[in-house]
């Protein structure tokens, strides 16, 4: 879009949206470090690590569409305020409840909270930022700032203060989200469709919301983008469950693990070039190659034991992941109408979480029987194969103009 359009939204409107995205989207990267070290310290079996990692995404899998619908109906700010308070408070429960049943419950609730924050950020992309790839690129770049800064902070906090320090870093991200939500300008937000709805009615899931959301699969482009969304999570599922476990197994300290995770954010600056990139090359082709590279760069991790090649692989993954999420979110925002942005982003999150629940559990089983290294290779190969098959089947689907 032209520069005049870019200047039409003042920074006071843009910045709080970027803050919501930063603190909600990057929290899983801190969780990756803290939970990996926490579960290793508790001597948790590999299969159970995979199960606990997957459980963090069960709530979003079941209720992301409902959360998006609530944002459409009663307002994104109201939902995000509750989410931020949960992210601020719940991390402190982990150190005082180091038992598997308690951790399972916490994973369910905390996973729901941070995922709903990201649903809110994506909803604001359509409601406030208008689905513009330039704005979306800035938003994704903001998430990479969190990815870059957060994991080293979490790793260092763990090394210095132990579990309390690690989980306090997660709470700090909840505080940042709350501040960003409060700063959202009221006049820039879309009007809720049911402003006077009671809280009880608002928080009760409705079958009609799920039906309306899943009807979006009837749009060929939506079906295609959502399929690629699921496949893209093959790499993320591997990373969230077993990346820190593998690195701890080869003797790396928490702060070094944090730096390797943060390398994803260091190269997230690539998101800023997404708008220009999709104007020069076919948008969907760029997405396909980004997904292939993102999966391959995590699947080959067991080939390395030295810091430098691991850092390069993580940096490459960060760049292509940033570009791919810009394309995915922008395509969805431009494909659906303004009154269903929340449901559409909730549906995208549901697809994400279906993969995030399944992949760690499957990989945990493979690691238990075949070894962790082979599990990385097998899951990666399957993800790349599915990407190529989907790209072939969807070669004639047209994308909306930028």
pLDDT tens-digit series, residues 86-117: 999 999 999 998 888 898 999 888 888 888 88
- Helices 341-370 and 307-335 pack at an angle, to 10 degrees, of 150
Report the pLDDT averaged over residues 167-187. Answer: 89
Distance CA 115, CA 106 (A): 14
What residue spans of 10-57 are helical by DSSP H?
11-25, 27-41, 46-55
| 308-367 pLDDT tens trace | 999 999 888 888 888 888 888 777 877 776 666 667 777 887 887 788 778 888 888 888
| 7-65 pLDDT tens trace | 577 778 788 889 998 998 888 888 888 988 888 888 888 788 878 877 887 877 777 77
Question: 3-state DSSP call for residue 126?
Answer: helix
Half-sphere exposure of 329 (CA within 13 A, CB side): 35
pLDDT value of residue 4: 39
Q: Bigger pLDDT: 271 or 373?
A: 373
- Helices 27-41 and 100-127 pack at an angle, to 10 degrees, of 170
**Mean model confidence pLDDT for the chain:** 81
Q: Is pLDDT above 80 for 195?
A: no
pLDDT value of residue 54: 77
Taking the CA atoms of residue 101, residue 105, residue 110 and residue 111 in that order, the dihedral angle to the nearest 10 degrees is 90
| 367-391 pLDDT tens trace | 888 888 898 999 999 999 999 998 8
pLDDT value of residue 191: 62
Q: Is pLDDT above 80 for 264?
A: no
Cβ within 8 Å of residue 244, ≥6 positions away: 32, 33, 35, 36, 37, 40, 257, 261
Architecture of domain 13-186+208-393: Up-down Bundle (1.20)
Q: What are phi and psi of 175, to 5 degrees?
A: -65, -40
> Residue 39's closest CA among 166, 182, 125?
166
Q: Write down the domain spans for the chain.
A: 13-186+208-393
- Helices 307-335 and 254-266 pack at an angle, to 10 degrees, of 40
């Amino acid at each position: 879009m032209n520069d005049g359009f870019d200047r039409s939204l003042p920074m006071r409107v843009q910045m709080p949206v970027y803050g919501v995205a930063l603190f909600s989207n990057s929290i899983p990267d801190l969780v990756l470090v803290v939970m990996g070290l926490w579960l290793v310290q508790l001597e948790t079996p590999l299969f159970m690590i995979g199960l606990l990692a997957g459980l963090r995404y069960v709530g979003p899998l079941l209720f992301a569409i409902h959360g998006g619908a609530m944002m459409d109906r009663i307002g994104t700010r109201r939902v995000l305020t509750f989410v931020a308070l949960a992210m601020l408070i719940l991390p402190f429960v982990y150190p005082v409840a180091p038992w598997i049943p308690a951790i399972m419950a916490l994973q369910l609730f905390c996973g729901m909270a941070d995922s709903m924050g990201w649903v809110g950020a994506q909803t604001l992309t359509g409601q406030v930022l208008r689905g513009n790839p330039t704005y979306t690129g800035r938003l994704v770049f903001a998430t990479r700032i969190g990815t870059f800064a957060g994991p080293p902070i979490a790793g260092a906090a763990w090394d210095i203060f132990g579990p309390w320090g690690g989980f306090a870093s997660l709470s700090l991200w909840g505080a940042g989200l709350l501040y960003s939500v409060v700063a959202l300008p009221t006049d820039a937000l879309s009007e809720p469709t049911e402003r006077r709805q009671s809280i009880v009615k608002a928080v009760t899931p409705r079958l009609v919301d799920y039906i309306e959301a899943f009807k979006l699969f009837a749009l060929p482009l939506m079906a295609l983008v959502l399929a690629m969304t699921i496949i893209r999570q093959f790499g993320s599922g591997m990373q969230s469950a077993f990346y820190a476990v593998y690195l701890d197994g080869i003797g790396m300290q928490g702060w070094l693990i944090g730096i390797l995770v943060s390398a994803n954010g260091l190269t997230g600056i690539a998101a800023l070039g997404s708008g220009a990139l999709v104007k020069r090359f076919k948008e969907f082709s760029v997405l396909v190659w980004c997904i292939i590279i993102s999966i391959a760069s995590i699947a080959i991790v067991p080939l390395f034991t030295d810091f430098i090649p691991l850092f390069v692989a993580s940096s490459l993954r960060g760049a292509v992941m940033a570009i791919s999420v810009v394309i995915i979110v922008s395509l969805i925002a431009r494909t659906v109408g303004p009154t269903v942005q929340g449901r559409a982003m909730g549906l995208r999150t549901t697809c994400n979480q279906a993969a995030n629940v399944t992949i760690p559990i499957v990989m945990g089983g493979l690691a238990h029987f075949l070894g962790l290294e082979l599990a990385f290779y097998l899951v990666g190969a399957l993800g790349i194969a599915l990407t190529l098959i989907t790209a072939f089947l969807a070669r004639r689907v047209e994308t909306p103009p930028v």
